A = this chain, B = another copy of it.
Amino acid sequence: MTTPDGDERHSRRLGTDESAVRRRSGGGAAGQHTVRRHNLALVLSEVAGPQPLSRAGVAARTGLTRGTVSSLVEELIGAGLVSELAATRGGPGRPASPLQLDPRGPAGLGLEVGVDAVGACVIDLTGAVRAQRTAPSDHREDAPDAGLLRVAALAREVVAEAGLPVAAATVALPGVVSADGVLERAPNLPRWVDVAVGEALRARLGGLPVRPGNEADLAALAERWAGGPPDVVVVSGGIGVGAGVLLDGRLFAGAGGRAGEIGHVVVEPDGRACHCGGRGCLETVAGLEALLRRAGAPDLDALAATHPDAVRAAGRALGIALAGAVHLLDVPAVVLGGAYPRCGPLLLDAVRAELDARVFSRSRVDVRFSTLGPDAALRGAATTVVQEVLADPGALIAGNGAGATELSS
């Protein structure tokens, strides 16, 4: 698994051996506890690194003593996070047993409630997708309960299929999620107002912790984990249009966690009414439904060939909104994801032309399509859980391990 902070791994190291660490943090039981938790994460990050390491290798890289490393590794093995492969004799001395992240260990559950679909997937500690299902499910007319019921059912199916314990879940949502995890508003889901989605799903999934996130934000994180640029606006094109903004590899939250709502940047001041209550928002021109309505076409794939004007108009609108985003956020790169790659190079060219004509503060903005496909947010949701386990395995261990292999309803 590629992690955005792979290069910073060593900044987490606290000291050259455990006694030095203990001294610096005060020496008491609380200090030791914190240091051990920190060192668990340090050892796990070395095991997760690109190079296979034995216990001795981890000791050499971290500066921790071999005894300390062995004790920490035993704890990680006990929690199902790490496994030890058969010993190999590479050179002189004792044979080395390479450590690895345990693919049978606590996995991440990613969920998505889209405007017209639900999805669920399980990603294991190594980053492999172990089960994934999506299903049509239109939530535009319904109260939240129906959609939550469907996504919970799908969650149980993928967890059963994967056969792995699950540490927690993240659910991707097509709207504004507050810092405390409430879906405040989703313009395309008029009946979903101030819905505590995390709590509702937790109750339906046997107490599994479920954290909601904005779908575009999770898609942006997925781009980064797949090796994308650190400073970028990732646009997620669907019935709604959203964006996740990464600055220095981290999600830009703005003042209240709701940043990146590019779908409601105005591109035609006197344009069509938008579901948000405004008028002429980007979404009214470049959202999928708007695009197909304009073309009078039933689906996206042949659109560039049959209705190039509709694709060009969407590209122009995207370029206008993105020019504003570049001027306000000063980002050098744009990734167009969700359904946009299906519109083909005509869309990309139109966006580029508009940015070239309108952005004065940068010599060039790099614009490209996402290669992650339409499930980027779902994958991003599952991966956030895995990343959190890897970043703080002590939290999982302290909580007496992960959720159950089968989720009760």
Interface residues of A (CB under 8 A from B): 176, 184-185, 187, 231, 243, 245, 247-248, 253-262, 264-269, 276-279, 281, 316, 320-321, 323-325, 327-332, 357-362
Contacts and interface: CB of A to CB of B under 8 A. Distances in A.
Contacts of A269: 267-268, 316, 320
10 contacts: A247-B255, A255-B329, A255-B330, A255-B331, A258-B362, A264-B361, A265-B327, A277-B358, A278-B359, A279-B358
A231 B179 CA distance: 16
A332 B320 CA distance: 24
Contacts of A331: 254-255
Contacts of A361: 176, 184-185, 258, 261, 264
A234 B329 CA distance: 15
Nearest to A266: B320
A371 to B, nearest CB: 22
A332 B176 CA distance: 15
B328 A329 contact: yes
Contacts of A327: 261-262, 264-265
Contact of A265 (B247, B254, B277, B324): B324
A194 to B, nearest CB: 11
Nearest to A264: B327
A228 to B, nearest CB: 14
A278 B185 contact: no
B324 A328 contact: yes
B328 A262 contact: yes
A24 to B, nearest CB: 9
Contact of A330 (B256, B281, B324, B325): B256
Given A247-B254, A324-B321, A266 B330 contact: no
Contacts of A359: 264, 278
Minimum-distance CB pairs A-B, first 4: A254-B330, A231-B255, A276-B360, A261-B327
Contacts of A360: 176, 185, 187, 261, 264, 276-278
Given A254-B329, A281-B358, A329-B329, 20 more contacts: A184-B361, A253-B330, A255-B331, A255-B332, A256-B330, A257-B330, A258-B362, A259-B328, A259-B330, A261-B328, A261-B360, A264-B327, A264-B358, A265-B328, A266-B267, A266-B358, A267-B269, A276-B358, A277-B360, A279-B358
